Structure 1
């Protein structure tokens, strides 16, 4: 685990990270909705010069069924070079893979053969509960002083509060809860930061009972899901400010701060407005000595014949976009927005973050459209662009189609299938084009659904930088 020189995949600044070599492999979380067999980490060849390009080249089953793998991450990344808490000799080697339903945390070693990662440790739900007071681990981020793991639930069956657990970089032991003073924060989801400004940001979804069986219509219409983001003093681990987006804007989920550490803004995606089923993107930014949020993108719902809609949507006669993931390119230029309901991935130029300009769009799947991929033009697709990952150089975007088992079943009741698409980016003018050579789908995933992708060597949502 100890190196004498920094890992070559670590970069001190986003400007240098953009020059990184292209990824050769992608790691993909795959899960069994029936919980009757183990979930898996699937390895795909992303080298266009390889005879196995676009194919599954590695497969690691986890030890137990029933995990429902969700958002996983690396044990270490470029934040290890930050001067405030330097750990330059750790390696980007281990994948930290939480099970959202089981509360187990898996550690997979990608060495010596990156195509065949091995499970080297499993942290049981009892340890997470005892040491940190949390359950339902959700999102992993590699920080300069440890591994940050957000969790939705409390220990011993408690609904909350959810929060952040810290794992050790090298032993992977659960150190404890991160919060010293959580203030009014109760609901949890994502966590990220402005490292050089000692600012941590968290978002909100719901407690385990609010999410594990799908969206509960009564709670949604009563505006009971999360609708705020929270700002914290990163060094003191204390809550500083709660910023409410308004209770009509339910479920602000993914946080994407600017990669340039000299900038003080970031984007958060809101799944749905209960007033008109639209989705939206908000910008957080400084307002004198406080933080503020401004809505910068509105995406309306699309009218539809109720007979072609799932039961949850029939009364509304419309398809909500359901923005369930966003990603920001490392150069802070393009924001990618997944509209899982309408089956669209949108690209926006956010050079001026207060005034985004749409520069690209690709349709795949969708509740009504079921748009086929050009590699398989006769196959109607279920699901839609969901988890989105951008390569470090910004030239490639990967999208997978499953959101969360219970939500899949509600919005795609006839089955969501499994597919991963790669889109090529015009980095000069903007725009997206599906790669017809890269479309693993169907039986290639052995009956499992696919969720998050991580790229070998790092990607746009794995690393943080301390130098501009």
Structure 2
């Protein structure tokens, strides 16, 4: 961070830091979150998880809700939903979430990680949830889509990140007409009022989806899913060739909002979704998961200040029988990086496995763990995989607590210490209905995967299973997860 005196001691003691979102001086231990990623790793063990749960698209005329799940193994309600906060409208499609304050505000003693920001992907509404009572959150406010549209022209909100300035930045995937060319970035102030767009006029990305900022490199990079008019109706491969889906990364100056560079990932980077920089704020590298190409792509800064990309790890498509296409991609739909930047984890929603790679050398990830928890080529499925020698096979997927695992692994969340990986299996209601229609009738579930952080390795925890097929109002679709104290996909260090 040019012109700024930053001294960070190895084990997380932050002596002095100046943030690039308003110049506030940061002093150790004064605000929400942690002074460093390594300090966060030593934070308290998670006891609660918030999970967005969806009835939209299931045929049940019920509003979506935020579930609170007890993940404390010493609790009598361990592995159970202990609270449900229903939103007041139908058809929202709660999806991703973020905090009003996180570790980027660690130096601000007036900041408080209290409000969870819940964008609704389909309705365009943004709910603000008060977690003052962590076990029983309440609805604080709703930012209505009409207000957002009138002031910004934006709709289909997706990813929310807090900023060190106190503002909240939300990526939006289109305009009110569902066309991608209306997308951009929504700014809310610290009282959740619409401030306007973040990016400079004329600097909107071609497609929207996820984003991550790295202030010491004065950079924010966003990814690209597709036009809402396309993805909201289900996945049609023809839409890819028609240019209705993305394959680019968009590099912005931070915090100015000027589009500086567009990286074309080509056919190796079709549908780049989740994007993360390494947690160490001094690092100038990160990864993005390309869903359709099923590649983990590394992006990095060049000596001249421009950015480049390369394929870091690949999941081979599988030859299959009795499916809509002769080849099945893994479909990498979510990934994350451990807080010490040692491991990367991602889910293959169609194949059905979760993978762990060691990325201590970011240029050469090494597969260190793999576990099968569902997918379309499991034993008992009508779909069979074809090996190189022409023989067919299917994959063993174990039951958990006598329950057959449904769908494929989708959203993942890692404990602060990196030893527990939580997994849900709903992607987006329309796509769920297309690829895993049993989810609509049987509901989602949540698993916990035990992680070996020494030698590497993944194993299903047989003592943990949350069955969203048994919900009081009928089976629901469980998607993204958050811890009340923050996690490795919501916290950014400045």
TM-score for the superposition, normalised by structure 1: 0.91
Q: What does residue 268 of structure 1 align with?
A: 288
Q: What does residue 299 of structure 1 align with?
A: 315
For the residue of structure 1 that corresponds to 2:42, the secondary structure is coil
**Is residue 218 of structure 2 the alignment partner of residue 198 of structure 1?**
yes
1:91: Cα distance to partner? 0.8
1:265: Cα distance to partner? 0.4
In structure 1, the gaps of 5 or more residues are 274-278
1:382: Cα distance to partner? 2.4
Q: What does residue 444 of structure 2 align with?
A: 418
Q: What does residue 384 of structure 2 align with?
A: none
**Is residue 188 of structure 2 the alignment partner of residue 167 of structure 1?**
yes
- The answer as to whether partners of 1:104 and 1:125 remain within 8 angstroms in 2 is yes
Which residue of 256, 269, 290 corresponds with 1:249?
269
1:186: Cα distance to partner? 1.9
Which residue of 477, 483, 486 corresponds with 1:455?
483
Distance in 2 (alpha carbons) for counterparts of 1:184 and 1:118: 34
**Is residue 45 of structure 2 the alignment partner of residue 29 of structure 1?**
no
**Is residue 155 of structure 2 the alignment partner of residue 129 of structure 1?**
no
- The answer as to whether partners of 1:347 and 1:360 remain within 8 angstroms in 2 is yes
Q: Residues 273-304 of structure 1, C-alpha deviation per residue, up to 9 Å, x if partnerless? A: 3xxxxx10100001222100010111011222
Query: Cα distance 1:114–1:94, how it changes in 2: closer, same or farther (>3 A)?
Result: same
Distance in 1 (alpha carbons) for counterparts of 2:353 and 2:243: 26
Distance in 2 (alpha carbons) for counterparts of 1:295 and 1:182: 30
**Is residue 37 of structure 2 the alignment partner of residue 14 of structure 1?**
yes
1:157: Cα distance to partner? 5.7
Q: What does residue 276 of structure 1 align with?
A: none
The structure whose RCO (Cα within 8 Å, separation 6+) is larger is 1
**Is residue 419 of structure 2 the alignment partner of residue 395 of structure 1?**
yes
- The answer as to whether partners of 1:190 and 1:202 remain within 8 angstroms in 2 is yes
- The answer as to whether partners of 2:32 and 2:101 remain within 8 angstroms in 1 is no
Matched residues, number = 444
Q: Residues 27-67 of structure 1, C-alpha deviation per residue, up to 9 Å, x if partnerless? A: 00000123621000000011111111111111111111100
1:452: Cα distance to partner? 0.4
1:206: Cα distance to partner? 1.0
- The answer as to whether partners of 1:7 and 1:91 remain within 8 angstroms in 2 is no
Query: Cα distance 1:339–1:69, how it changes in 2: closer, same or farther (>3 A)?
Result: same
For the residue of structure 2 that corresponds to 1:65, the secondary structure is coil
For the residue of structure 2 that corresponds to 1:304, the secondary structure is strand
**Is residue 113 of structure 2 the alignment partner of residue 92 of structure 1?**
yes
Distance in 2 (alpha carbons) for counterparts of 1:19 and 1:248: 37
Distance in 2 (alpha carbons) for counterparts of 1:241 and 1:87: 32
Query: Cα distance 1:35–1:226, how it changes in 2: closer, same or farther (>3 A)?
Result: farther
1:424: Cα distance to partner? 1.4
Alignment of 1:74-89 (within 5 A): 74-81=99-106, 87-89=108-110
**Is residue 90 of structure 2 the alignment partner of residue 62 of structure 1?**
no
Runs of 4+ in 1 over 4 A off after TM superposition: 4-9, 156-159, 370-374
- The answer as to whether partners of 2:67 and 2:84 remain within 8 angstroms in 1 is yes
**Is residue 77 of structure 2 the alignment partner of residue 52 of structure 1?**
yes
1:131: Cα distance to partner? 2.1
Q: What does residue 384 of structure 1 align with?
A: 408
Q: What does residue 391 of structure 2 align with?
A: none
Q: Residues 89-138 of structure 1, C-alpha deviation per residue, up to 9 Å, x if partnerless? A: 21111111111111111011011x21111011011101111222200111
Alignment of 1:55-454 (within 5 A): 55-81=80-106, 87-111=108-132, 113-145=133-165, 146-155=167-176, 159-169=180-190, 171-183=191-203, 185-247=205-267, 249-273=269-293, 279-289=294-304, 290-306=306-322, 309=323, 314=324, 316-369=325-378, 372-377=397-402, 379-415=403-439, 417-445=443-471, 446-454=474-482
Distance in 1 (alpha carbons) for counterparts of 2:462 and 2:111: 38
Distance in 2 (alpha carbons) for counterparts of 1:322 and 1:262: 31
- The answer as to whether partners of 1:6 and 1:90 remain within 8 angstroms in 2 is no
Q: Residues 143-176 of structure 1, C-alpha deviation per residue, up to 9 Å, x if partnerless? A: 212111011012466543311111112x111111
Query: Cα distance 1:66–1:5, how it changes in 2: closer, same or farther (>3 A)?
Result: farther
Structure 1 range deviating more: 183-192 or 133-142: 183-192
- The answer as to whether partners of 2:116 and 2:128 remain within 8 angstroms in 1 is yes
- The answer as to whether partners of 2:211 and 2:276 remain within 8 angstroms in 1 is no
Distance in 2 (alpha carbons) for counterparts of 1:118 and 1:67: 17
For the residue of structure 1 that corresponds to 2:156, the secondary structure is strand
Q: Residues 351-371 of structure 1, C-alpha deviation per residue, up to 9 Å, x if partnerless? A: 100000011111111012166
- The answer as to whether partners of 1:347 and 1:359 remain within 8 angstroms in 2 is yes
TM-score for the superposition, normalised by structure 2: 0.86
Distance in 2 (alpha carbons) for counterparts of 1:260 and 1:444: 41
Distance in 1 (alpha carbons) for counterparts of 2:457 and 2:54: 31
- The answer as to whether partners of 2:344 and 2:358 remain within 8 angstroms in 1 is yes
Query: Cα distance 1:424–1:414, how it changes in 2: closer, same or farther (>3 A)?
Result: closer
Distance in 1 (alpha carbons) for counterparts of 2:30 and 2:60: 37
Structure 1 range deviating more: 446-455 or 406-415: 406-415
For the residue of structure 2 that corresponds to 1:160, the secondary structure is helix
